[in-house]
Amino acid sequence: MLSDDSAVETYIRESSSSTAHPASLGTAAMSAKDADYGVVELDSIMKGVDGLRVVDASVFPFITSAHTQVPTYVIAERAAALIKSAWLYQRWYDRTSRSNLICQKKKEANFELLE
């Protein structure tokens, strides 16, 4: 029989377990770009790989003490916003580049007419 609080706490810590599957958590941990640990940057882009984002519970750098459903939703919503923002920027950049190219061609054509 356990008589003091520290013995009860020790017993609980040593004998309890979880039915969750935490094996997938932290396998692609998120960290800062210049950090020595982690494989995913804060914007969900895998370090050293172009065009690959990791958007799941494996990016958690440590296992949460609560259910992982809500934090996973937060990661997914944030990644969706980042992906959409990157896509919109790329569209704007492509259009701007195309527009600048057309203007350059028109300028060149006008200079050719003046010569």
Catalytic residues: 21, 67
Compute the distance between CA of residue 44 and CA of residue 61 in angstroms, rounded to an integer.
13
Rounded to 5 degrees, φ, ψ at 44 are 70, 5
In angstroms, the Cα distances linking 54 to 25, 34, 96, 101, 103 are: 12, 18, 29, 35, 39
Q: Which of 51, 30, 44 is nearest to 79 (CA)?
A: 44
In angstroms, the Cα distances linking 36 to 17, 32, 51, 97, 112 are: 31, 9, 21, 37, 56
